[in-house]
Amino acid sequence: MVEIRKPIAVRDAIKRVMDKANALPIIEIALEDSFGYILAEPIIAMHDVPSFNNSPYDGFAIRSEDSIGASGDNRIHFRVIDHIGAGQVSKHALGKYEAVRIMTGAPIPEGADAVVMLEQAVESENTFTIRKPFKQLENISLQGEDSKKGEMLIPSGTFIHPGTIALLATFGYAKVKVRKKPIVGILCTGTELLKVEDEIEPGKIRNSNGPMIEAQLKRRGIESRYYGILSDDLESCFQLVKKVLVETDCVITTGGVSVGDFDHLPEIYRRLQADVLFNKVAMRPGSVTTAAFADDKLLFGLSGNPSACFTGYELFVKPAIENMMLNNCPFTPHTKAKLTEDFLKPNPFTRFVRSVYRFEGNEAIITPAGFNKSNAVSSIARGNALIVLPGGTRNFVAGDIVDVLLLGNENGVSSWMS
Amino acid sequence: MVEIRKPIAVRDAIKRVMDKANALPIIEIALEDSFGYILAEPIIAMHDVPSFNNSPYDGFAIRSEDSIGASGDNRIHFRVIDHIGAGQVSKHALGKYEAVRIMTGAPIPEGADAVVMLEQAVESENTFTIRKPFKQLENISLQGEDSKKGEMLIPSGTFIHPGTIALLATFGYAKVKVRKKPIVGILCTGTELLKVEDEIEPGKIRNSNGPMIEAQLKRRGIESRYYGILSDDLESCFQLVKKVLVETDCVITTGGVSVGDFDHLPEIYRRLQADVLFNKVAMRPGSVTTAAFADDKLLFGLSGNPSACFTGYELFVKPAIENMMLNNCPFTPHTKAKLTEDFLKPNPFTRFVRSVYRFEGNEAIITPAGFNKSNAVSSIARGNALIVLPGGTRNFVAGDIVDVLLLGNENGVSSWMS
């Protein structure tokens, strides 16, 4: 008898894994290693930015009151009493008609309250003239105009990108509190699987899922341990999965989750006394995608079909991993886009179609990436997005607006904007 | 006298660096290390995919002609003569009313031309019945239906992402020909600069550009060497830049490119006999951004102002690095989006505004990320995009559609699609 499994909605399946994705510990790492981690503390302005009034230009710091009445016919003369670059502090306080030659970023000297840009001055040795009045604080970058001391600038739970790092550096965070990234174990099952370096044999295929998942994790900066292709023996499979569960924070298997005669994962979950969160999802490809929970860790049983495996990772593993790091934005960005070709197949289950997303002017355009069965592999290589066609629908045609999940933006475009 | 520099258009500046970005050599790397490299060979299908007719389901392989006339009232009986899993090849050729129990992915046995899914069969020991006829090739995944042997699937010059790796694995590319990634040297100039771990001092700021550029490179998987903060001494600066030019494939400096009294880079370019490609770009922030070419390598002189430095990297360094790897899509994706607030400042030069890009339904929305001067740093941490307001324009208001450069999509969203 075939085991009858009850499919659950994609949204419910996602919720179940998100609920079980336990937060990993907080660690402290060096700022230069922090790219891609999730902040475990908010960034608070430790001081005003800028921390002192400074000159945004190369020029002369003056007292604005001395410039009153300056014009082309009434040039006002200033005497240069000091010369400072960025990082230098003038020891002089300005008197009447005195100026300090000042470079971009240098602090405004005592008494000065405006800056004459070099190109606004006519210089001669140690003096210059101006021909317009300067307002108080004209050409001055004010202390605190960017950020005020004590202000919460970036919340905990934020992905650390290059701009975040610039801000952390500004406030002297040489070490940053972040959530540990999970270490993910990968095992592939299937007696049909050859290693990448093997010659092709009748009835066999090379294992593409293992390297693919390693790369999906690497794309996110997550370390994986690849445990290779499992033997067909249930007992040794069980022992290996048990070992991986100890050695890693999260286990991904590919294949073996269906109801076929050699599908060992259901039995392995039983022996682990794992809580099976779901073993059938109302989606194509990948309806056999399974998630289980044992020893406080998630086990993902992804389909052995490449497209289904890819989709299962993106839908379930990816946000669960973000949740383990307490990312406050754990989900893949989604939008809507205009379909460029008909997609007439009925969708009894929600269908995820590997696709190419691009822009034409201000219009987002989505095109299926080719051959679209669950065993497809070429379309994974071509796509950068997934069209989402809800279950119970059919007959989408060119011009329809459809939901789209945006998977990665490493693919650039061939030309600069016109 | 202030040196007068002639600004060139952003587009022309980009073209100049792209023209000088020399291709790096081809290297061969292991498949598992290939994520993020640019393919230096096309992916050609080495064999059909699938490479043999196989079953997409768990079920029974039969001869379709034996099923003619089957119905609820006229069940047809089959005898199971073999049992194969994926990876196994049946030694039996099917005779009349014979079937092979077959698991997903297993090759269709000789003589069979259709598959009865398990749930379409009523089984008893070694036999089963069907109650509908099966067409020729029903439930069979056909050899070559995904890809045909010899087909060019992915062109040279493509970014290697997880899907590309799945395809390479399928065809047995244990080693992949790619372009070497550049090693980029980073030097920061400015006597105002403190190290991240230093206590703040009057007139000084911590160096945020160095860590930020390291992270911008790391985001793209590019290795950098950080040479620290340059001293204020011209001769030692020159010697260090010369050394970095030898040790790396591309040199990025921050600060020191303006016309201020302590801006040494123009003199260093002269001493290197570098070809200065431009030293003024009609853009804000970062009009002083400079690019030069010496010893067949690019030198980028980015502004010392954080926002200007960030923008200079994204506009010029990023596509130049892609060009060194012969990426056929070297440019940052761009689109249009609806402005959510007024931006009334005039734009004598093309203005790049750090912004947050997001979707509301099928509408792309763009919001400036806050304080927006070239010395700003907090807005770099908040933004994931740049609004591009062309030179010679002014008075953009909420609701206007503006050009947008999409800088990175690591930021997820807080909820699954509704």
Q: Which pLDDT tens digit goes with each residue over A240-271?
A: 999 999 999 999 999 998 878 888 999 999 99
Measured CA to CA, the distance from residue A54 to residue A89 in angstroms comes to 11
**Is B27 in the A-facing interface, judged by CB distances under 8 Å?**
no
**Is B189 in the A-facing interface, judged by CB distances under 8 Å?**
no
pLDDT in tens, B187-238: 999 999 999 999 999 999 999 999 999 999 999 999 999 999 988 789 999 9
The answer to whether the CB of B120 falls within 8 A of the CB of B132 is yes
pLDDT in tens, A163-197: 999 999 999 999 999 999 999 999 999 999 999 99
Looking at residue B162, its pLDDT comes to: 96
Pairing of strands A334-339, A175-179: unpaired
Q: Is the pLDDT of residue A370 over 90?
A: no
Summary mean pLDDT of chain B: 94
Measured CA to CA, the distance from residue B56 to residue B11 in angstroms comes to 51
What part of A 40-69 touches B (C-beta under 8 Å)? 43, 47, 49-52, 56, 58
* Nearest CA among B150, B83, B43, B109 for reference residue A202: B109
Mean pLDDT of B79-107: 96
**Is B416 in the A-facing interface, judged by CB distances under 8 Å?**
yes
Between residues B263 and B226, which one has the greater pLDDT? B226
pLDDT interval class at B375 (50, 70, 90) = confident
Q: Is the pLDDT of residue A2 over 80?
A: no
Q: What is the CATH number of domain A28-49+150-179?
A: 3.90.105.10
The answer to whether the CB of B259 falls within 8 A of the CB of A58 is yes
Report CB contact under 8 Å: A333, B214.
no
Report CB contact under 8 Å: A206, B335.
no
CATH architecture designation of domain B10-24+181-324: 3-Layer(aba) Sandwich (3.40)
Summary mean pLDDT of chain A: 94
Facing residue for B166 by CB, picked from A377, A388, A409: A377
Looking at residue A374, its pLDDT comes to: 80
Looking at residue A231, its pLDDT comes to: 80
Report CB contact under 8 Å: B310, A163.
yes
Helical segments of B303-418, H only: 306-312, 318-324, 378-382
Looking at residue B23, its pLDDT comes to: 97
Task: Provide the 3-class DSSP secondary structure of residue A214.
Answer: helix
Take residue A349 and report the two structure tokens written for it.
Answer: 């289950």
CA angle A267, A272, A274 (to 5 degrees): 90
**Is A166 in the B-facing interface, judged by CB distances under 8 Å?**
yes
Looking at residue A412, its pLDDT comes to: 80
Report CB contact under 8 Å: A14, B416.
yes
Count, residues in chain A: 418
What part of B 317-356 touches A (C-beta under 8 Å)? 319, 322, 327-337, 354
What is the separation, in whole angstroms, between the first and last Cα of chain B?
62
Strand locations in A171-249 (E):
175-179, 184-188, 193-194, 205-206, 224-229
Return the domain boundaries, chain A: 10-24+181-324, 28-49+150-179, 59-130, 334-406
Contacts with A121 (C-beta within 8 Å, 6 or more apart), sequence order: A59, A60, A128, A129, A130
Radius of gyration of chain B measured on its C-alpha atoms = 31
Take residue A334 and report the two structure tokens written for it.
Answer: 């989604």
Q: Is the pLDDT of residue A1 over 70?
A: no
Pick from A318, A389, A417, A418 the residue to mutate for testing the B interface (most B CBs within 10 Å): A417
Q: Is the pLDDT of residue B1 over 80?
A: no
Measured CA to CA, the distance from residue B403 to residue B347 in angstroms comes to 14
Q: Which residues on A lie below 8 Å from B171 (Cβ)?
A: 206
pLDDT interval class at B105 (50, 70, 90) = very high
In CATH, which of 3.10.20.30, 3.90.1300.10, 3.90.105.10, 3.40.1190.10 is domain B28-49+145-179?
3.90.105.10
CA distance B215 to chain A (A): 5
- For tokens 């975040």, the residue is A164
Report CB contact under 8 Å: B377, A167.
yes
Mean pLDDT of B90-101: 97
Looking at residue A418, its pLDDT comes to: 64
Measured CA to CA, the distance from residue B316 to residue B289 in angstroms comes to 9
For residue B153, give the chain A residue with the closest CA: A378
Percent of chain A with pLDDT over 70: 99
Measured CA to CA, the distance from residue B1 to residue A123 in angstroms comes to 8
For residue A202, give the chain B residue with the closest CA: B89
Facing residue for A381 by CB, picked from B47, B163, B336: B163
Exposed, middle or buried by CB within 10 Å (0-12, 13-18, 19+), for B178? buried
Report CB contact under 8 Å: B378, A49.
yes
Q: Which residues on A lie below 8 Å from B145 (Cβ)?
A: 371, 373
For residue A164, give the chain B residue with the closest CA: B381
Measured CA to CA, the distance from residue B308 to residue B313 in angstroms comes to 9
Looking at residue A375, its pLDDT comes to: 82
Each residue of B223-235: b (16+ CB within 10 Å) or e? ebeebebbeeeee
CATH C-level class of B59-130:
mainly beta
The answer to whether the CB of A68 falls within 8 A of the CB of A133 is yes
Mean pLDDT of B11-40: 97
pLDDT in tens, B159-178: 999 999 999 999 999 999 99
DSSP codes of every residue in B217-249: HHHTT--EEEEEEPPS-HHHHHHHHHHHHHHSS
Mean pLDDT of A368-375: 84
* Nearest CA among B284, B283, B290 for reference residue B266: B290
- The alpha carbon of A384 is separated from its chain's Cα centroid by a whole number of angstroms, namely 15
Looking at residue B2, its pLDDT comes to: 60
CA angle A255, A287, A355 (to 5 degrees): 95
Count, residues in chain B: 418
* Nearest CA among A119, A152, A237 for reference residue A188: A237
Take residue B40 and report the two structure tokens written for it.
Answer: 């230096």
Q: Which residues on A lie below 8 Å from B35 (Cβ)?
A: 215, 218-219
**Is A360 in the B-facing interface, judged by CB distances under 8 Å?**
no
pLDDT in tens, A281-338: 999 999 999 999 999 999 999 999 999 999 999 999 999 999 999 999 999 988 899 9
Facing residue for A211 by CB, picked from B2, B169, B200: B169
pLDDT interval class at B418 (50, 70, 90) = low
| CATH H superfamily, domain B334-406 | MoeA, C-terminal, domain IV (2.40.340.10)
Pairing of strands A297-302, A250-254: parallel
**Is B400 in the A-facing interface, judged by CB distances under 8 Å?**
no
Measured CA to CA, the distance from residue B216 to residue B300 in angstroms comes to 14
What part of B 235-254 touches A (C-beta under 8 Å)? none
